[in-house]
Amino acid sequence: MPQGPDGHGPAPGHPSPGPGHFENEILALLPVLRRYSRSLTRSDAEGEDLLQDCVEKALANRKHWRGVNLKAWACAIMTNLYRNRHRRNTRHPAISIDEAMDLPSVEIQGDPLERDRLTGALNSLAEENRAVLMLVIVEGYGYQEVADMLDLPIGTVMSRLSRARQRLREQLTESNIISLRRPR
């Protein structure tokens, strides 16, 4: 079970939150969790699917939450789910076409070609490296926070971050060669 990074539960005798409290906290976190799930996945549909699984798992495991830093706790759950489901779902996302069509679209910013290149490069990352990269860059966690959250040595976090960045750089440089020098 993923642990929160704090290591401190509520004080003994602390009144337990009333019913609905936990659900409301999760509900408030959904936008942030949606961003994290999308940053790990290859499509909007896959991102929503992962988000739903994460919500379900968080609710089912609510008694393991130590009462602080719900976001880090939920992100750890999401990361585990992502690593376990990634392989089978990227090729056959378990979401129907109808369902995917119903997803609200997100305004796309920037040069579509640049976005495609970056997306392609991100999709080439190993899952564990991608997760660390996104937790740092998109979710703004410090290296030690990521290590605590994922129960990893700090050195592993740094080497995963490093591998992700080098790999992206290689991929983007290669893509550059292709698109800039394509012969007629």
Partner 1 sequence: MSKNSSPVNENDLHAYVDGFLDPVRRAEVEAWLGENPDAATMVADWADQNEGIRSLFSDYRQDRPGDAALLSAKAASLSTPATSPRRAYWQAAAAMVLFVGGTVVGQVAPPLMVDRGAPPAPTAVASLPEQAKSAFLIYASDVRHPVEVGASEQAHLASWLGKRLDYPLDVPDLSDIGFNLVGGRLVPVSGKPGALFMYEDDAGQRVTVLVGRNDENRTTSFRYASDNGLETFYWIDGPVGYAVTGEISRERLQLIANECYRQFPS
**Among the listed residues 111, 140, 101, 119, the one whose alpha carbon sits nearest the alpha carbon of residue 41:** 119
63 lines the binding site for partner 1 (CB under 8 A)? no
90 lines the binding site for partner 1 (CB under 8 A)? yes
Identified binder of partner 1 from the candidate list 8, 9, 21, 162, rule CB under 8 A: 162
Q: Report the residue number, 9 or 120, with the smaller CB distance to partner 1.
A: 120
- Number of residues counted as binding partner 1 (CB under 8 A): 73
Q: Report the residue number, 65 or 160, with the smaller CB distance to partner 1.
A: 160
Using left for φ > 0, alpha for ψ between -120 and 50, and beta otherwise, residue 109 falls in: beta
Per DSSP, the three-state class of 126 is coil
Contact of 81 with 50, CB cutoff 8 Å: yes
3-state helix, strand, coil in the chain (%, to 5): 70, 0, 30
Q: Report the residue number, 13 or 184, with the smaller CB distance to partner 1.
A: 184
Residues 43-62 that bind partner 1 (CB under 8 A): 47, 52, 55-56, 59-60
The helix-helix angle for 154-180 and 143-150 (nearest 10°) equals: 110
- Select from 8-16, 67-75, 128-136 the region that touches partner 1 (CB under 8 A): 128-136
CA-only gyration radius of the chain, Å: 18
106 lines the binding site for partner 1 (CB under 8 A)? yes
101 lines the binding site for partner 1 (CB under 8 A)? no
For the chain, give the number of residues: 184
Identified binder of partner 1 from the candidate list 7, 15, 31, 112, rule CB under 8 A: 31
Q: Report the residue number, 69 or 121, with the smaller CB distance to partner 1.
A: 121
